[in-house]
Structure 1
Amino acid sequence: MRQILAVAAGLAVLAVSACSAPTPPRSAVPSPTPAGPATLPAPTGPHPVGSTVLHLTDTSRPDPWNLDVDARELRVTLWYPTEQRDGERAPYMTPKESELFLRARSIGGVPGDILSKTRTNAVKDAEPTGRKLPLVVLSPGFTRSVNALTSLAEDLASRGYVVAGIDHTYENYATTLADGRIAECLACDSDSDSGFGTGVVEVRAADVSFVLDQLPGKWDGSDRIDPSRIAMAGQSMGGAGAVAAMVKDSRVRAGIDMDGTTYARIPKGGFSRPFMFIGSAQHVPGAGTAEWARDWKLLTGYKRWLVMSGMEHHSFTDVPLLADTLGITPTHGTVPAARAAELTRTYVAAFLDRHLRSGRSPLLDEPSSRYPEVKLCAPPGCA
């Protein structure tokens, strides 16, 4: 039986829980005066950031959600370090994607194209720089495009990572394909089916492997990637997909699940590659986290379980950063949006630095007075 994640109305209007099946859309809870277009927080690394989009087609398999399509089409957004500081900013989403998203979430009282005006920090199609750069694959929650993880992606790119964010076609409200067609959420029609979550993460694992196969030949900057240093991170269903991708593809050396219930089964013999769970308060050990507890026992290598108090399911995404723009009053989560972004960026980077760059950070080994919201857990408890 699928578990339905109860999400408070204020933030639930922005995105459906992706670590479990989505609930029906609810009306937005407006604040008195919606703000203008949002500006994403500046990246913290030393490098300017570039971004470009790839359109890839997997002719070896039909699309699992659109039975009329005999090939799987994917849109992949890349973020990477560059030397170029000036130029046109990469779009957050198109006006049509913004309109469809707001309509699907029943968000009114703001211009339909408002999210397309979100100011990013990446320069569109800038020339990449660097050599032997580690690669991080990002996967978003169910019904969300990978733009929901833009703040995290830009920050990682500024720190010297190449980031490949995958839009899993027909699993979100709007993905613009290569020829301009808009793929809407066909998978949403199947979310009550038995085994839905397991099926979704299998699709996502296949998507990840295909992108890793194709990337070297499809991006001019791919020679700057070190293929021996690849990790994956995701939020909600994307985090569950990280587990599935690592089980399927040994090229993914390390993984992070941000607040996602897992579905793919780890082999009984155990799993030795590094993995980190980052959760909201609902993921305190023993508080209804049966899947994480199950998987924790099978993780035989480096592993971490972090719980961030005051954060809720969407705090690990751009959702809180957009709440004022959309006139949404969050009703859960006491950590301010900028602080939530800081916590997510800091701990994700610490884990990736350790396992893709042999870096060391005490953040993953002991509590920090700078980040008192973060608890290091070792089931059955937390420090």
Structure 2
Amino acid sequence: MLRSLRLLPLVALSISAVVLPSPPGPYDVFYNTASMIDNTRVDPFDPKHGPRAVMTSIFAPTHCNVDLENMDYLPAATAEYYSDEFGTYGLPNGTLQSLSFQVCPESPTKHHVQFPVVIFSPALGTTRLFYSAIAQSVASAGYIVVSIDHPYDVEFLEFPDGHIVTAANITDDQVPLDVQTRAQDVKFVLDQLSTKAGVASLLPGARAASLKTQQVAMYGHSVGGATTAAAMLLDCRIIAGANLDGSMFGSVVQQGLRRPFLLFGHENKTQTTDPSWAEFWPNLRGWKLELELAQSQHYTFSDLPFLLKLLGVPVQDIPAIKTRVGALDGSKALEIVQRTIVAFLGFGLRQTSVKPLQRAISNYSEISVFAR
């Protein structure tokens, strides 16, 4: 993700506990993680040819009847790995270990698990955990968000039993295979969430046979955005999708989709600069919208600008970071991404008209409509 950059220490920070602010929606959020193993598929990137296994996180809205608890933003081994990576920016060891967010320790009630389900897929090489603040914010608005890490794609993947899977060297030629494999991961996770055992692994004690998986939505960042479109083509249960700043891959580019789809690019990423978007656009035969976000870069659509602000990193003074996360204030970046996603989900899942999305867009001068 960011490992190609090697900088002299430019940031002098003291390490102290940093708790992420509460999400903006009306609900508290329950959080849990679980691994899911698909014994029907051989992992195409596993040198030992083992079954495909993914890691998932769930962010479920609830009304908490007990005190919220602090949860480490990253598990121990993952935090140590990325502390070394971020150390190239001058962040002291232990900085990422200092991050936590507040969650409800009680599993949601049967009533609360009837919220709509939303799937998330991250960028190539990037852990799903670097999108947790966005996911929690979306969940607080009334959506069950399930994020997926795809093994041998993400740089560092820590499973509950302690074993680690690191990234394979996925070449440009293998990206279409990666996207298709990810799409199959999404279908598998939806299948699991349609069973009592699958739900119990993520929502222990919820006493629900299944979640509402017959009509779900999905969003993804970068290759995760391409995965969103590919998964929609593969699985008709996904009735709306959003691609955050990802080039398109696979047959969906030519075949297109008939369900609502949002393209949201960073500054100067549009159909005029991304040929895959230009080819995909006319093949979208349902509702469609393309947005552009000023002062943003590729990782504006992750938690990173927000985390760097909370940690006091002077992004504007470090060009190598600014070129990755953009010039937008970190809190505002999170707010724009979260509110746009939530407004789109309301429309895409047929809960609202398109007007809340139009209002969300008009509230921010940084957002422009490139095509509709």
Q: Please, what TM-score do these two structures have when normalized by structure 2? A: 0.87
Contact 2:199 2:211 in 1 (8 A): no
Shift of 1:131: 4.8
Query: What pairs up with 1:124-163 in 2 under 5 angstroms?
Result: 124=105, 126-128=107-109, 129-163=111-145
Distance between the aligned counterparts of 1:365 and 1:126, measured in 2?
A: 34
Equivalent residues in 2 for 1:107-186, closer than 5 Å? 107=88, 109-124=90-105, 126-128=107-109, 129-185=111-167
Matched, 1:230 2:216: yes
- Greater helix share, structure number: 2
The 8 Å contact of residues 133 and 303 in structure 2, kept in 1 or not, is answered as yes
Out of 334, 352, 371, which is 2:345 matched to? 352
Do structure 1's residue 90 and structure 2's residue 75 form an aligned pair? no
One-letter amino acid of the structure 2 residue matched with residue 121 of structure 1: Q
Q: Could you tell me which residue of structure 2 aligns to residue 205 of structure 1?
A: 183
**Matched position secondary structure for 2:129:** helix
Preserved CA contact (<8 Å) 1:132 1:224: no
Which SS does the other structure have where 1:178 is aligned? coil
C-alpha contact (below 8 Å) 2:199/2:210 kept by paired residues? no
CA distance in structure 1 between the partners assigned to 2:210 and 2:43 by the alignment: 31
Aligned-partner Cα distance in 1 for 2:34–2:52: 14
Instruction: State the distance in 2 between where 1:378 and 1:149 align.
Output: 27
For 2:361 and 2:159, locate their aligned partners in 1 and report how far apart those are by CA, in whole Å.
Answer: 44
Displacement of 1:29 in angstroms is: 6.1
**CA displacement at 1:377 relative to structure 2:** 1.7
Q: Counterpart in 2 of 1:81? A: 61
- Computed over aligned residues only, the root mean square deviation of the Cα atoms, in angstroms, reads 2.4
Moved more, 328-337 or 269-278: 328-337
Rounded Cα–Cα distance in structure 2 between residues aligned with 1:175 and 1:270: 32
Cα deviation, residue 309, structure 1: 0.7
Measure how far apart 1:78 and its partner are: 0.5
Q: 1:94 to 1:114 in 2, by over 3 A?
A: farther
Between the aligned partners of 1:156 and 1:369, the Cα distance in structure 2 is 19
Amino acid at match of 2:246: G
Equivalent residue number for residue 249 of structure 1: 235
Aligned length: 354
Aligned to 1:5: none
**C-alpha deviation, 1:45, in angstroms:** 1.3
Could you tell me how far apart the structure 2 residues matched to 1:110 and 1:24 are?
16
1:299 aligned partner = 284
Identity of aligned residues (%): 27
Contact 2:347-2:357 within 8 A present in 1 as well? no
User: Which amino acid in structure 1 is aligned with residue 284 of structure 2?
Assistant: L
Does residue 51 in structure 1 map to residue 36 in structure 2?
Answer: no
Relative to the length of structure 1, the TM-score reads: 0.85
Kindly indicate whether the alpha-carbon contact (under 8 Å) linking 1:121 and 1:154 is maintained by their aligned counterparts in 2: no
Shift of 1:143: 1.6
Per the alignment, in what secondary structure is the counterpart of residue 57 of structure 1? Answer: strand
- Which residue identity lines up with residue 299 of structure 2 in the other structure? H
Amino acid at match of 1:126: S
Structure number with the bigger relative contact order (C-alpha 8 A, sep ≥ 6) is 1
| Structure 1: gaps of 5 or more residues | 1-14, 17-22
The CA distance in 1 between the partners of 2:21 and 2:251, in whole Å, is 36
Task: Give the direction of change, closer, same or farther, for the CA distance of 1:233–1:269 in structure 2 (3 Å limit).
Answer: closer
Q: Conserved in 2, the CA contact under 8 Å of 1:162 and 1:225?
A: no
Corresponding residue for residue 196 of structure 1: 174
- CA deviation profile, 1:69-115 (whole Å, cap 9, x unmatched): 42112111001012225243333211211111233465364444432
Kindly indicate whether residue 9 of structure 2 is the aligned counterpart of residue 24 of structure 1.
no
Alpha-carbon separation, structure 1, partners of 2:307 and 2:68? 24
Q: CA deviation at 1:322?
A: 2.0
Corresponding position: 1:371 with 2:364: yes
Please name the residue that 1:9 is paired with: none
Structure 1 residue 204 displacement after superposition: 0.5
Change over 3 Å in CA distance of 1:369–1:353 after alignment to 2: closer
- Residue 68 of structure 1 aligns to a residue whose secondary structure is coil
Separation (CA, whole Å) in 2 of partners of 1:154 and 1:142: 21
Q: Is the contact made by 1:133 and 1:224 (CA closer than 8 Å) also made in structure 2?
A: no
| 8 Å CA contact 2:15, 2:98 repeated in 1 | no
* Superposition deviation, residue 46 in structure 1: 0.8
Structure 1 residue 270: Cα displacement = 3.8
Partners of 1:213 and 1:127 in 2: CA distance:
21
Shift of 1:233: 0.6
Q: Please, which of 319, 329, 336 is the counterpart of residue 329 of structure 2?
A: 336
Cα distance in 2 for residues equivalent to 1:52 and 1:358: 26
1:218 is aligned, of 181, 195, 198, to 198
Residue 175 of structure 1: CA displacement?
1.6
Distance 1:181 1:372, change over 3 A: same
Closer, same or farther: CA 204–124 of 1 in aligned 2, 3 Å: farther
Q: Amino acid of the residue matched to residue 335 of structure 1?
A: L
